[in-house]
Amino acid sequence: MGNLGGIDEDMEQEIRDEEHVEKVVGIVERKPKRRPFHYWKVGEREYKLKLTTRMIEKLENKYRQNVLNLVAGDGIPPLSVMLTVTQAAMSPWEHGVGYEDVKDAYDRWTENGGNQMDFYTGVVMPTLAVSGFFTEKQAESMMKSLQDADELL
């Protein structure tokens, strides 16, 4: 009887088998990966946006409801809610950002052609998508629907 302890020898044999290694690498390469952030470009500045668990929890405690219901419930949410969600998504990556800073950024953004509908479809909803609120397929479908609705308007 051979050595019964460990699986090192078996693993070394698999690594030597080039065809097996190619299959393993091929599977890893094809796995879809969620984008790490959504970026909101305001003038020359780009803000990283992604809601962390801590920030989602703060939003849910503040508004006493699920963030998805808050943002994607009945029509477009109030601007103050969208700006607060944006602040929460920005806070971990932009140290010390306050609500007034986000309002100022939004004002600069609208002065350069942005509007509330574009903010909802192009900033808030994609931020939820990268934050794990939807599967990749759902996110793609949702973004296509939002884009189609935006084109109709």
pLDDT in tens, 35-64: 688 999 999 999 999 999 999 999 999 999
Reported confidence tier of residue 113, pLDDT bands at 50, 70, 90: very high
- Helix axis angle, 79-90 to 99-111, nearest 10°: 110
CA atoms of 134 and 97, how far apart (whole Å): 26
pTM value surpassing 0.75: no
- Contact in structure between 25 and 102 (CB atoms under 8 Å): no
Tell me the average pLDDT across 84-103: 93
What residues form DSSP beta bridges with 47? Answer: 40
With a pLDDT cut of 90, the percent of the chain lying above it is 45
CA atoms of 123 and 150, how far apart (whole Å): 13
- The number of CA neighbours under 13 Å toward the Cβ of 73 is 11
Reported confidence tier of residue 4, pLDDT bands at 50, 70, 90: very low
pLDDT of residue 74: 77
